[in-house]
């Protein structure tokens, strides 16, 4: 007898909790693969999409930071403008972006930046930039201010405020028309969002093409799992501090990218993690699931897995489109699994 999510969800408090379009059986099949299979190229991947495993968070931060800094340097060396869509999360790489740019003495005068999201209320009004929880504050402290004289000019820094977010599409279009390269840096959310473009948005549109054309959303309603993720990662577990809504770019902007550079660093301690499922999804082979060596959970129970690399493009899973764009996805090795039960 199997006792797991699918066999117990009917009539439970989780029935209807996850987005329409999520096939939990397919998700679990994706997560049953051996860790070493995560870098195996899939049919839907862009030829220039590459997942890169990192053994430690230090290696992850350095490699991701170097990749971003190299984009800035290469654009500078080739006299090309660069449009960067940037996240707050992950964050550890910014220290290394600053380090490499200072080491190489590379100015960011040719760079225009767009923060991909920001905490907001339902009307799109955002936190004050002096609030330590605001993404603008985080970017100024981690990236813009430490660069000193080499920094991005203030007039070329865009934040996802109520008034400025709607200007993103025209600004990015103008930069691209002028020959700029568009690079999106991203993390992957617990609910497989990119920026705060939540998976529930898939049900709002009838076709993938309509979904792909959406440039932004003010006052996006966030999934409870997104609130919980951010309570853990950014608010010291204090849920009452976490806004339930945010402003965010949509696929209509990030899918225009010439390249996407991503990072998955959601490992905690003692073997715990929250991001493995958010990494794995693609069309899966029909192979048996890994056995779960556990004395207190059933063999079919798994730790945190869905994600871009196995499920295949699906508008109900925002990050599943990532491998269709040229780029590099850095991830902590332990997130690849094996994703099996383990009492902590």
Domain boundaries along the sequence of the chain: 5-336
pLDDT tens string 174-185: 999 999 999 999
- What's the fold here for domain 5-336? Rossmann fold (3.40.50)
Instruction: State residue 297's pLDDT score.
Output: 35
CA-wise closest residue to 131 among 119, 147, 113, 143: 119
Residue 12: is the preceding peptide bond cis (ω within 30°)?
A: no
Query: Which of 32-46, 138-152, 187-201 shows the lowest per-residue confidence on average (mean pLDDT)?
Result: 32-46
Q: Please state the separation of Cα 31 from the chain's center in Å.
A: 18
pLDDT over 90 at 81, yes or no: yes
User: Cβ–Cβ contacts within 10 Å for residue 94, how many?
Assistant: 25
pLDDT tens string 90-100: 999 999 999 99
Q: What is the mean pLDDT of residues 78-107?
A: 98
CA-wise closest residue to 171 among 110, 112, 94: 112
pLDDT tens string 48-65: 999 999 999 999 999 999
DSSP assignment of 69-131 equals: HHHHHHHHHTT--EEEEE-SSS-TTHHHHHHHHHHHT---TTEEEEE-EEEE-TT-PBPPTTS
- The angle that helices 94-104 and 57-77 make with each other, rounded to 10 degrees, is 40
Instruction: State residue 288's pLDDT score.
Output: 36
| Distance between CA atoms of residues 302 and 102, nearest Å | 43
Q: How confident is the model at residue 311 (pLDDT cuts 50, 70, 90)?
A: low
User: Cβ–Cβ contacts within 10 Å for residue 10, how many?
Assistant: 8
User: Cβ–Cβ contacts within 10 Å for residue 327, how many?
Assistant: 23
Element spanning 52, H or E: strand 49-54
Instruction: State residue 280's pLDDT score.
Output: 84
Phi first, then psi: give them for residue 187, nearest 5 degrees: -115, 175
């Amino acid at each position: 007898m199997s006792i797991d999510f699918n066999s117990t969800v009917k009539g439970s408090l989780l029935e209807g909790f996850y987005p329409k379009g999520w096939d939990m059986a397919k998700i679990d099949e994706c997560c049953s693969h051996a860790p070493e299979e995560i870098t195996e190229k899939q049919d839907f991947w862009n030829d220039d999409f590459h997942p890169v495993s990192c053994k430690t968070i230090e290696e992850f931060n350095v490699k991701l930071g170097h990749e971003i800094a190299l984009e800035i340097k290469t654009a500078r060396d080739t006299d090309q403008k660069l449009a960067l869509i940037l996240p707050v999360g992950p964050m550890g790489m910014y220290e290394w972006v600053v380090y490499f740019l200072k080491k190489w003495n590379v100015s960011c005068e040719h760079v225009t930046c767009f923060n991909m999201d920001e905490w907001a209320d339902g009307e799109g009004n955002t936190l004050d930039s002096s609030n330590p929880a605001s993404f603008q504050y985080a970017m100024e402290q981690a990236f813009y201010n430490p660069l000193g004289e080499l920094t991005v000019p203030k007039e070329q820094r865009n934040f996802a405020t109520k008034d400025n977010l709607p200007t993103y599409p025209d600004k990015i279009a103008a930069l691209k028309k002028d020959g700029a390269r568009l690079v999106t840096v991203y993390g992957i959310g617990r609910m497989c969002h990119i920026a705060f473009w939540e998976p529930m948005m898939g049900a709002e549109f009838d076709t993938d093409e309509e979904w792909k054309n959406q440039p932004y959303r003010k006052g996006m309603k966030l999934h409870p799992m997104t609130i919980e993720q951010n309570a853990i990662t950014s608010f010291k577990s204090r849920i009452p501090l976490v806004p339930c809504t945010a402003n965010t770019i949509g696929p209509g902007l990030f899918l225009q990218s010439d390249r996407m550079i991503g990072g998955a660093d959601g490992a905690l301690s003692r073997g715990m993690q929250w991001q493995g499922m958010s990494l794995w999804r693609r069309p899966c082979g029909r192979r048996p699931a890994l056995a779960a060596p556990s004395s207190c959970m059933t063999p079919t129970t798994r730790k945190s897995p869905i994600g871009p690399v196995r499920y295949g493009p699906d508008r109900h899973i925002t990050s599943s489109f990532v491998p269709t764009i040229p780029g590099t996805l850095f991830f902590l090795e332990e997130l690849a699994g094996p994703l099996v039960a383990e009492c902590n």
